[in-house]
Amino acid sequence: MALATVASRALAGIDAPEVTVEVHLGPGLPAFHIVGLPDAEVREAKDRVRAALNHARFEFPARRITVNLAPADLPKDSSRFDLPIALGILAASGQLKAGALAGHEFAGELSLTGELRSVRGALAMALGCRRAGRAFVLPAVNAAQAALASGTRVLPATSLVEVCAHLAGEALLSESRGADTPRANGSCPDFAEVKGQAQAKRALEVAAAGAHGVLLIGPPGTGKSMLAARLPGILPPMTEVEALEAAAIHSASTAGFDAARWGVRPYRAPHHTASSAALVGGASPPRPGEISLAHHGVLFLDELPEFRREVLEALREPLEAGAISIARAARQAQFPARFQLVAAMNPCPCGWLGQARCRCTPEQVARYRSRISGPLADRIDIKVEAPAPRDAELMAPASGEPSEAIRARVVAARQRSLARQGKPNAVLGPREIERHCALAPESAALLKQAIARLGLTARAAHRVMRVARSVADLAGEAAIGAQHMAEAIQYRRLDARF
């Protein structure tokens, strides 16, 4: 009897728990069994592994082969276990030295010819290898992504033969280093291209400074989508930690992560026909949804009232917690979802409220706006109108302030908030608001009047204070003045519509 163990990793959300692949060759009629809670993809590995070993001119042992994927209570999915299973068979049958597998972790799908194909979650697995202090052998197509985990020894290979030659010491694999990975600067549309909309531009600048959510309300064709698409261009650069978190989520998604997008803030704009599972995540095993794919970036929801009610209500918890928990009968997963919401809507079903062409009745307008629940609207910090530009603005050449100038002010304001409290203003807790958003008597009086006249809830009052803190940061002021509070209150005057 012979036994070999190979280190690999599963994927649970954006985490990559370690999996030990144990291969046992025993007496009896030839058979091939895989145990340890494998799904259909993993069970099909035996056919791919057999064909790959035969094509690579290795001997497939005619014995009773048992592959155990430990721990047994962790569900195993995907074809990433093909390579470690094949290596375990070779080591257990004596075609590879078992000691050569030590200090390595392996992941990769095998073609019938022994070529290595890409797998999901390469970055998450590379981060796990770094913590374990092992080298990571994986398909070459995933090398650029895995190399983003600086400090990990990433060894890309194109075939099973290359991996075996490396383990035998005949032809060592070349290490892929993070320094060789392309770093993208990203290119976003410029705010200078937007004509008019001075108030909306200012609101987005305040939102970018404090990571606040925004709702743009205006008739069709006024530039709401243009404004939203330009918000990522004025956001501060991503930190190394933020870039790794965002990349790890995309790495675990169906589409995967393109290393050329490293350091670029995500911008997601799902269609209004998207389901709840598409927005918050789902499937089995659980996959990240749009709100998680927008982590540390922008989630743009155009035509907000056209989304189904249950889809919009699913946003309420992530907007507060910055994470989403997905529970299924056999699997549970938690994905981060600290996104910046930008939504757009028309003032009425036809979009032309207040103009001669509008034929909407008050009941139709009220029904249209009621599609956005009060609790959800209460969680959006800034609500601003985007009216139709005047003829003079529309015909004049685009000469607005460029995104670079706005971004410089946003970066300075964000640095002030991080130096003061270590986080953006939008996520301050109640005690932190008391400490960092203390109000002068004039500011407190303005807020008290706004609570009475606008009927603000306690949550809305706290959000007004956070926005006022961001306005003061943009002005370079340590204290929240009356003018800062007045601007923040102005962004809540539309609350009465919901």
Do 148 and 252 share a structural domain? no
Residue 16: pLDDT band with limits 50, 70, 90: very high
Instruction: Please check whether residue 341 lies inside any domain of the structure.
Output: yes
The whole-number pLDDT of residue 393 equals 66
Do 295 and 201 share a structural domain? yes
Instruction: Please check whether residue 166 lies inside any domain of the structure.
Output: yes
Do 18 and 167 share a structural domain? yes
Domain final residue, candidates 151, 180, 209: 180
The whole-number pLDDT of residue 448 equals 95
Please report, for the domain that includes residue 6, its CATH number.
Answer: 3.30.230.10
Do 466 and 380 share a structural domain? no
The whole-number pLDDT of residue 329 equals 66
Range of the domain at 94: 2-180
The whole-number pLDDT of residue 178 equals 59
Please state the separation of Cα 323 from the chain's center in Å. Answer: 10
Would you say residue 414 has pLDDT above 60? yes
Question: Which is it for the CA torsion 138, 297, 180, 255, positive or negative?
Answer: positive
Instruction: Please check whether residue 377 lies inside any domain of the structure.
Output: yes
Would you say residue 357 has pLDDT above 70? yes
CA angle 222, 223, 229 (to 5 degrees): 165
Do 34 and 7 share a structural domain? yes
Sequential DSSP letters for 33-90? EEESSB-HHHHTHHHHHHHHHHHTT-----SEEEEEEESTTS-B-SSTTHHHHHHHHH
Sequential DSSP letters for 148-192? TSTT--EEEESBHHHHHHHHTTSSPPPPB-GGGS---------GG
The whole-number pLDDT of residue 436 equals 94
Instruction: Please check whether residue 200 lies inside any domain of the structure.
Output: yes
Please report, for the domain that includes residue 250, its CATH number.
Answer: 3.40.50.300
Would you say residue 184 has pLDDT above 80? no
Average pLDDT over the chain reads 92
Helix or strand or coil: residue 354? coil
Domain final residue, candidates 155, 180, 205: 180
Q: Which residues contact 330 (CB under 8 A, 6 or more apart)?
A: 75, 284
Q: Look at 199-213, 279-293, 392-406 and tell me which has the smallest mean pLDDT.
A: 392-406
User: What is the C-alpha separation between 480 and 110, in angstroms, rounded?
Assistant: 61
User: What is the C-alpha separation between 334 and 348, in angstroms, rounded?
Assistant: 37
Do 80 and 111 share a structural domain? yes
Is-contact 56 161, C-beta < 8 A? yes
Do 67 and 41 share a structural domain? yes
Instruction: Please check whether residue 167 lies inside any domain of the structure.
Output: yes
Q: Which residue has the tokens 């609101």?
A: 203
Do 116 and 34 share a structural domain? yes
How many structural domains comprise the chain?
Answer: 3
Instruction: Please check whether residue 287 lies inside any domain of the structure.
Output: yes
Instruction: Please check whether residue 186 lies inside any domain of the structure.
Output: no
Do 369 and 460 share a structural domain? no
Do 437 and 358 share a structural domain? no
Would you say residue 179 has pLDDT above 50? no
β-bridge partners, 38: 76
Strand order in the sheet with 18-26: 2-9, 18-26, 64-70, 31-35
pLDDT in tens, 83-113: 999 999 999 999 999 899 999 999 999 999 9
Instruction: Please check whether residue 185 lies inside any domain of the structure.
Output: no
Q: Which residues contact 388 (CB under 8 A, 6 or more apart)?
A: 218, 219, 221, 222
Which of left, alpha, beta for 28 (phi over 0: left; psi -120 to 50: alpha)?
Answer: left
* Section 134-145 average pLDDT: 95
The whole-number pLDDT of residue 492 equals 94
Domain final residue, candidates 387, 422, 457: 422
Is-contact 312 377, C-beta < 8 A? no
pLDDT in tens, 194-223: 988 999 999 999 999 999 999 999 999 899
Do 410 and 347 share a structural domain? yes
Would you say residue 30 has pLDDT above 80? yes
pTM over 0.85: yes
Would you say residue 375 has pLDDT above 80? yes
Residue 257: pLDDT band with limits 50, 70, 90: confident
Is the peptide bond between 347 and the residue preceding it cis, with omega within 30 degrees of 0? no
Do 412 and 337 share a structural domain? yes
User: What is the C-alpha separation between 216 and 237, in angstroms, rounded?
Assistant: 24
Would you say residue 19 has pLDDT above 60? yes
Is-contact 146 270, C-beta < 8 A? no
Please state the separation of Cα 392 from the chain's center in Å. Answer: 41
